[in-house]
Structure 1
Amino acid sequence: MTFGQFIAILRARWMLALGVLLGIVLISVALSLTLPKQYTATASIVVDAKPDPFSALGYPSMVTPAFMATQVDIIQSDRVAQRVVRMLRLTENPQVRKQWMDATGGEGSMEAWLADSFQKKMDVKPSRESNVVSVSYKAPDPKFAAGLANAFVQAYLDTVLELKTDPAKRYSSFFDARSKEARDTLEAAQTKLSAFQREKGIFNADERLDVENARMSELSSQLVALQAVSAESVSRNAQASGSSADRLTEVLNSPIVGQLKADLARSEARLQELSARLGDSNPQVIELKANIAETKLKIADETRRITGGVGVTNTINRQREAQVRSELEAQRTKVLHMKQVRDEGSVLMRDVDNAQRAYDAVLARLTQSSLEGQATQSNVSGLTVALPPPDPSFPNLTLNLLLAVFGGTLLGVLVAFIKEITDRRIRLVEDLTVGLGIPVIGVMPKPGSKKKGRLAIADAQRRVVGQLPNPAK
């Protein structure tokens, strides 16, 4: 079909197409004026991505499409719808109860029935490039539509807050029980440590152990010194017990022995003189010999006394060495025991420290959970409040007229073409040429159009001449 044929059909069937268009427009206007009016009220909420004031953590996933889709699902959930029913106390309304009885016969839950009916008339649309979600509700009464939209927003805000605080409250109860157990464990560990300290008499184990270590070091130094002195005493005692006792330092340094030896030397010198002069039988020589023998005995007695003192000193030194060694062994045993006690006390102290850290950690989580459970704000806030709309959203007369004109035009053209197909007419010269397969010689002009008739005959003649075979060829 050419464009000319299309225009020719429209010219021929324009009244039919116009009738269809007018019929569609009239039907649209009639429906727009007779259908009950519906009002749509819209409220909006905004999701805030700021850090949580309790946990000090951000919510990077809040701006993702999945999170916004989750919020839409929460708004459209039965929990929010049933909360709206409870907020508005619609179950207490006798008229609403009668409608429920008529619709369901009293079967099922009235709250669930109302929630389901509300969800059918609610529309939730998230914004594509922001964190704003629009909640719309359609109802015959504009005030009722605005009230339901605001009720859904408020129910959603309360539900989001519950979804945040309910787990925190459960965690708070859990951590409260754990904190009591941790406190009991800490008290038991502290009691055990205190009893151990009282039993062992420990006030400051490290300081006392330092004192005992210092005393042990001092005793060790004393033992080393006494061992040196005792070794010397043993050597001197062995010398005193032998034949060289007269060469001891004490004997050589003794003034009595020195005096006696001096007297002995003088007596021996005088004895030699008297013996040479008077002879050995002289009474003076005999007396002098007796004096010399007595002096030697005195020297021997003084030497034995002095060497006996060396033995006593050796015995004393050995006893002091044995005593210090015994004290050192006792001190070493005491220090080892104190180290063992300190290790046992360290274990108990670590138990106390671990119990304290565990209690502090549980107490911190308990405090955080308690604060989160007492929160009155969530990360979602109301942005705009729904107001009763002044104009109905359905039916929209202007939109319906535009759609009726557009649809009526298309339908009128379609009806005209269907009519043309069922009742085919000759509209153009080309229709005869194509339909019959013979050239057109002339076209009869319409009455009163001579000029146009002559032009049409001339045009037809040119076409016939153009279609006849050329003899020259």
Structure 2
Amino acid sequence: MNATLFFLILRARQRIVLTAFLVTVLATAAVSFILPKTYTATSSVVLNFKGIDPLTGLTMPGQLLPGYMATQVDIISSRNVALRVVDALKLAQSPAVLAEFNASTGGRGDVRDWLAELLLKKLDIAPSRESSVIDITFKGSDPQFVAAVANAFADEYQRVAIQLKVDPLKRASAYFNDQIKTLRDNVEAAQSRLSKYQQEHGIVSVDNRLDVETNRLNDLSAQLVAAQGQRMEASSRQNMALGASGSESPDVLTNPLIQNLKANLSQSEAKLAEMAQRLSPNHPQYQSAAAETEKLRNELKAQLRLVANSVGNNATVLSQREGAIRAALEAQKTKVLELNRTRDELSVLARDVDNAQRAFDTTSQRFSQTRVEGQAEQSDIAVLNPAKPPIEPSNPKIALNIALSVVLGAMLGIGFAVLAEVFDRRVRGEVDLVDTLDIPVFGAIDWKDTPARSVNGLQALLRPRRARLT
């Protein structure tokens, strides 16, 4: 089928085309005027989240998640928000609504749930693609009612968002309050153990006392080293004084009395040797000189013994002093070790107090912060554009429906014309003769012209046509 044949068919079936077109347009117009008018009201809310909590200054990653906007849409369209809207508008208290509910459900169920379901069916939530604005749209037959419902959904959504944020904080605040009491008791118990330990051991300042005792221990160690050196020196001098070479002892050599006795003994021995050459041993002078020499020798031995005893006594004293210093050193060492143990135990108790105090301070700070957050009913949601009662209905759109009916009517008319042509095939032109009879066409007669025309006109009627051979 070519375009010429198509237009010939439409021309021949123009009644069908016009009838289908007019019926479609008129029916659409009638239905559009008959259908009840539907009004649409939209309330826009904006989510003013910046990712930072205004109270704590901390980042709130929950609001930065990709599903945050979808979560807010689910909250708006939840049954909880719808029930709040029903209560806010007092819809369940209307006698007309109660009568309609009884007629629709037979009195079964809750009228609030029934109204919430009806509201949610006519509610449309549309979040913006690249912004934080959400449009809350409600449709109905009353312009004032649809605007009130859209605004009520926006308001109740704000309240529910605040409640969802505040309720967990209130529960957390109660938990922290209980924990603070326990932690306060722990701090008091740890402080009491520390104080009791200090009183039992008489501790005022462990570090200062430990420094003093440590210095004393160091002094005793130095004294012990010095006493050991003195005792070793005294022992050596004692051994030398009591030995065969006692006369060479420093104590003997530095003793003037012994040196004087030695000089006198040498003179007496020299005098005795001289008398021995002149006198016989029985001579009174010789015996007197011998007695004096022996006396001097005995006095020298006595003085040597006294020096040796003196050195020995000195060594004994130094040894006793070394023992006393050693005993004092051991006692001081035990005392320092005891102070170290006391300091360690005191440090453990003090650390327990610090840990308990730190836990109490941290919990108190978190409790104060949580309590402030739980009492701050601030919302991140604000109404950007409240809904206004619409002036013009959103449905039915008469102009759009008629425009669509014109297109649809034209398509239906063409369709019906083609369908009628299929069931009632007619010859519309030379192409139909060639296709149907399978014979060539040599000419066509225009039956609309009159036979009274001139010869030229008659020749024009018999216009030759190019034959179509098959």
**What is the distance in 2 between the residues matched to 1:454 and 1:71?**
85
Distance 2:418 2:39 in 1: 40
Residue 458 (structure 1) aligns with: 462
Q: Is the 8 A contact 1:252 1:258 kept in 2?
A: yes
Q: 1:445 aligns with which of 444, 447, 468?
A: 447
Per-residue deviation at 1:119? 0.6
Q: Give the 5 Å matches for 1:45-84.
A: 45-53=45-53, 54=56, 56-59=58-61, 62=64, 64=66, 66-84=67-85
Cα deviation digits, residues 101-141 of structure 1 (max 9, x gap): 33223321222111111011111112222222211111222
Measure the CA separation in 1 of the matches of 2:368 and 2:68.
Answer: 28
Partners of 2:266 and 2:65 in 1: CA distance: 124
**Residues 244 and 442 of structure 1: is their aligned pair in 2 closer, same or farther, counting only changes over 3 Å?**
closer
* Shift in CA distance, 428/315, structure 1 to aligned 2, threshold 3 Å: same
Q: 2:25 matched to 1:25?
A: yes
Number of the residue aligned with 2:299: 298
| Aligned partners of 1:175 and 1:366 also within 8 Å | yes
The answer on whether the counterparts of 2:42 and 2:135 sit within 8 Å (CA) in structure 1 is yes
State the secondary structure of the residue aligned to 2:382: strand
> What amino acid is aligned across from residue 41 of structure 1 in structure 2?
A
The answer to whether residue 174 in structure 2 is matched with residue 164 in structure 1 is: no
Q: Secondary structure at the match of 1:57?
A: coil
Q: Which amino acid aligns with 1:423?
A: D
Distance 2:127 2:459 in 1: 68
* Residues in 2 aligned to 1:424 and 1:453: alpha-carbon distance in whole angstroms: 32
**Compared CA separation, residues 373 and 456, structure 1 to 2 (3 A):** farther
Displacement of 1:391 in angstroms is 0.9
After superposition, the C-alpha distances for 1:207-229 in whole angstroms (9 at most, x for unaligned) are: 33333232222212211211111
Aligned mates of 1:119, 1:302 — CA distance in 2? 130
Paired amino acid for 1:248: S
Tell whether 2:310 aligns with 1:309.
yes
Q: Which moved more, 1:24-33 or 1:387-396?
A: 24-33
Paired position in structure 2 for 1:264: 265
Residues of 2 paired with 1:429 and 1:94: CA distance?
Answer: 76
Deviations 1:374-422 (A, max 9, x none): 3423433322111111111112222122122222222222233333334
1:160 shift after superposition:
2.1
- Structure 1 CA distance, aligned partners of 2:359 and 2:306? 78
Q: Which region of structure 1 is more displaced relative to structure 2, 160-169 or 326-335?
A: 160-169
Contact kept, 8 Å, 1:135 with 1:153, in 2: the verdict is: yes
Does residue 1:428 correspond to 2:429, yes or no? yes
AA in 2 matched with 1:187:
E
2:152 aligns with 151
Partners of 1:49 and 1:58 within 8 A in 2: no
| Alpha-carbon contact 1:183-1:359 (below 8 Å) kept | yes
CA distance in 1, matches of 2:47, 2:91: 29
Q: TM-score, normalised by structure 2?
A: 0.88
Instruction: Name the CA distance, whole Å, in 2 between partners of 1:448 and 1:198.
Output: 144
Measured in 1, the distance between the counterparts of 2:367 and 2:235 equals 77
Contact 1:446-1:453 within 8 A present in 2 as well: no
Provide the rounded CA distance (Å) in 2 between the counterparts of 1:425 and 1:330. Answer: 138
**Structure 1 residues 447 and 90, CA, compared in 2 at 3 Å: closer, same or farther?**
same
Q: Name the structure 1 match of 2:42.
A: 42
Deviation at 1:322, TM superposition (A): 0.7
Alignment of 1:174-189 (within 5 A): 174-189=175-190
Please state whether the residue corresponding to 1:37 is helix, strand or coil: coil
Distance change (3 Å), C-alpha of 1:290 and 1:63: closer
- 1:54-89 Cα distance to aligned partner (Å, 9 max, x none): 25215486473x332222222111121112112223
1:239 matched to 2:240: yes
How far apart, CA to CA, are the structure 1 residues paired with 2:408 and 2:459?
40
Q: Against the structure 1 CA distance between its residues 455 and 144, is the aligned structure 2 distance closer, same or farther, given a 3 Å change threshold?
A: farther
Unaligned runs of 5+ in 1: 469-473
Return the TM-score normalized by structure 1.
0.87
Give the direction of change, closer, same or farther, for the CA distance of 1:295–1:247 in structure 2 (3 Å limit): same
2:196 aligned with 1:190: no
1:463 is paired with a residue of what secondary structure? coil
**Higher mean C-alpha displacement, 74-83 vs 84-93:** 84-93
Q: Percent identity?
A: 42
The residue aligned with 1:210 is 211
**Quick one: structure 1 residues 262 and 199, their matched pair in 2 at CA, closer, same or farther if it must change by over 3 Å?**
same
**Cα drift, residue 230 of structure 1:** 1.0
Aligned residues: 465
Counterparts of residues 137-148 of structure 1 (less than 5 Å): 137-148=138-149
How far 1:278 sits from its partner (Å)? 5.9
Of residues 183-192 and 225-234 in structure 1, the stretch that sits farther from structure 2 once superposed is 183-192
Give the conservation status (yes or no) of the 8 Å contact 1:62–1:68: no
Q: Match for 2:313: what amino acid?
A: V
Map 1:374-453 → 2, pairs under 5 A: 374-440=375-441, 441-448=443-450
Q: How many angstroms apart in 2 are the aligned matches of 1:212 and 1:377?
A: 63
1:471 alignment counterpart: none
Instruction: Map residues 334-345 of structure 1 onto 2, 5 A cutoff.
Output: 334-345=335-346
Q: Deviations over 1:183-215 (max 9, x none)?
A: 333333333233223323333333333332322
**What is the distance in 2 between the residues matched to 1:456 and 1:379?**
88
Q: Distance in 1 between matches of 2:47 and 2:360?
A: 36
Cα displacement string for residues 326-361 of structure 1 (whole angstroms, at most 9, x for unaligned residues): 111112222222223333333333333443444344
Shift of residue 323, structure 1, vs aligned partner = 0.8
Distance in 2 between the 1:8 and 1:217 partners? 131
* Root-mean-square deviation over aligned CA pairs: 2.9
CA distance in 2, matches of 1:148, 1:453: 80
Deviates more, 1:49-58 or 1:314-323: 49-58
